[in-house]
Amino acid sequence: GKLVHIVGQMTDLRVQIGGRLAQACAGERNIPDGECFLAPVTDGIEGEIYFEFPTLAFGHEVAGIHLEFSQGKVVKAQAERGNEALQKMLATDSGARYTGELAIGTNYQITQGMLNTLFDEKIGGTIHLALGRAYKEKRGGGENKSAIHWDLVKDMRLAGSTLTIDGKIILREGKERMGRMTNVGA
């Protein structure tokens, strides 16, 4: 696939993936595991996204994050709580305002957030977008460089939420629409 379109609460985001193939994680990277990820094209994100799950930055809870992207770069950012920590993360370096990862959480045994990113990003029916450094995978990897890789989690289980690839529904209201999540970018 080439274009991911994410629609949800305060979200309408288009993400170019340039035909990159996603990596499925089923226990070889983290415990618990359960995600399918790839790196977006660095300058290929347009629109806005709102993250329902809180996260931590510099020891502070950051919640209600709303980001606007133009040509892959975060051009506007606001948090309902912890906005100062959000702005500090974005100021880390020039790569911090770009993304390094887009992923779908596929572990349906985890059902609620714990304010622990390694668990929260795996919740089945969520997605996460990482600001900063991209993984250097043989397939699906990206070029963005940064001192940070900060995963932000969006709840796609909410009414009206969809993720499509080239117009094909992949995730609707948190439910996978194409079976097992492998080779999602193909």
- pLDDT value, residue 178: 62
Q: For the residues 149-162, what does the mean pLDDT come to?
A: 98
Neighbours of 54 (CB within 10 A): 19
Q: Which two tokens mark 36?
A: 């399918």
At 185, the pLDDT band (50, 70, 90 cuts) reads: very low
- pLDDT value, residue 141: 78
Q: For the residues 174-185, what does the mean pLDDT come to?
A: 61
Q: Cα dist. 174→21, 47, 74 in Å?
A: 21, 21, 25
- pLDDT value, residue 138: 64
Three state DSSP letters for the chain: CCEEEEEECCEEEEEECCCCCCEEECCCCCCCCCEEEECCCCCCEEEEEEECCCEEECCEEEEEEEEEEECCEEEEEEEEECHHHHHHHHCCCHHHHCEEEEEEECECCCCCCCCCHHHHCCECCEEEEEEECCCCCCCCCCCCCCCCEEEEEEECCCCCCEEEECCEEEEECCEECCCCCCCCCC
At 57, the pLDDT band (50, 70, 90 cuts) reads: very high
At 181, the pLDDT band (50, 70, 90 cuts) reads: very low
Q: Which residue has the higher pLDDT, 163 or 141?
A: 163
Query: What are the structural domain ranges in the chain?
Result: 3-176
pLDDT digits (tens, 9 = 90+) for 93-149: 999 999 999 999 999 999 999 999 999 999 999 999 999 999 887 666 788 999 999
Q: For the residues 26-31, what does the mean pLDDT come to?
A: 73
Kindly report the CA angle at 12 between 9 and 18, in degrees rounded to 5? 135
Check: pTM over 0.85? Answer yes or no. yes
At 177, the pLDDT band (50, 70, 90 cuts) reads: confident
Q: What is the average pLDDT score of the chain?
A: 92
